[in-house]
Amino acid sequence: MTDARIPAAYMQPGISSFSDFLSEQAPDLLPARRSLPAGSAADLAPHGTTIVAATFPGGLVMAGDRRATMGNVIAQRDIEKVFPADEYSVVGIAGTAGLAVEMVRLFQVELEHYEKIEGSILSLDGKANRLSALIRANLGMAMQGLAVVPMFAGFDLDLGIGRIFGYDVTGGRHEERHFFTVGSGSLFARGAMKKLYREDLSETECVTLAVQALYDAADDDSATGGPDLTRRIFPVVWVVTVDGGRKLSDEDVAEIADLVVAGRMQRPDGPNAPLLSRGEESR
């Protein structure tokens, strides 16, 4: 006779992590628990590319381009790579798109699950550490070419500032104070951010900075998509402040992207930074 009641494990108090619960009750649902045959799977699935993030007083901005590639082919023009993790944090993904989206879904449930079971929100460092664990569990797949390298950022309610965390494939995390980039175009985006970033940017200026950096990444990296003027596809931009995270509307991003493109019509390499820093360090 089968028992219709809820299984005893569900009633057991003590575990507030959803992924720990899954690993006991339904391990096949965990993205990292699948075994792959030997060999590289890198060319089998679409890859997402560049994500940038920067902080401004009172919050942070995270933006991602819209291209997914499979070898030399553009797999998708309008993929979204920046997602809300909970009300006060966002996560951007680079690497194997399918696995990364699944990891983000697990991460979102993980944070919400903790919040509901414990009745309080995890600290920002706690959230960043949980993401580390999820990435580390994926190391086996990363070694077969299916790497996922997210970037996490959120508003720290205790400190009152925006914070950015970068990761490597082994789950190692490091905090960036001002800005950070990941993905294939990240080197070019980082170069642009180095020259343009200031600590006193307003929210709109910070969004403009992100769009400029993505433009530079798309300029030199074939896997990063620039603003698509004919189809009106522009980067996905999230802003997180003390009021929580919100996605900028397509119109708002389009307005900023149009200004950036108009500037590039005059000077294709983008705004000039001065050769020598004036007075004290600007950053």
Question: Which chain residues interact with another protein by CB under 8 A?
Answer: 3-6, 10-11, 13, 18, 21-22, 25-26, 29, 87, 105-106, 109, 112-113, 115-117, 119-121, 157, 244
Buried-exposed string 140-174: b where 16+ CB fall within 10 A, e elsewhere: ebbeebbbbbbbbbbbbeeeebbbbbbbebebebe
Nearer to another protein, 13 or 268 (CB): 13
What are the C-alpha distances in Å from 91 to residues 9, 11, 54, 201, 282?
31, 31, 13, 22, 28
Closest CB 122 distance from another protein, rounded Å: 11
Closest CB 216 distance from another protein, rounded Å: 34
Nearer to another protein, 87 or 250 (CB): 87
CA dihedral 138, 139, 144, 150 (to 10 degrees): 60
Q: Are 106 and 17 in contact (CB under 8 A)?
A: no
Q: Are 55 and 203 in contact (CB under 8 A)?
A: no
Q: Are 104 and 128 in contact (CB under 8 A)?
A: no
Closest CB 250 distance from another protein, rounded Å: 18
Catalytically active residues, by annotation: 49
Q: Are 217 and 189 in contact (CB under 8 A)?
A: yes
d(CA 48, CA 36): 21
d(CA 106, CA 195): 36
DSSP-assigned letter for residue 33: G
Nearer to another protein, 22 or 149 (CB): 22
Q: Are 246 and 238 in contact (CB under 8 A)?
A: yes
Closest CB 14 distance from another protein, rounded Å: 9
Closest CB 119 distance from another protein, rounded Å: 6
Nearer to another protein, 120 or 230 (CB): 120
d(CA 179, CA 193): 7
Among residues 83, 94, 166, 170, the alpha carbon closest in space to that of 128 is found at 166
Closest CB 27 distance from another protein, rounded Å: 12
Q: End-to-end CA distance of the chain, in Å?
A: 70
Nearer to another protein, 3 or 281 (CB): 3
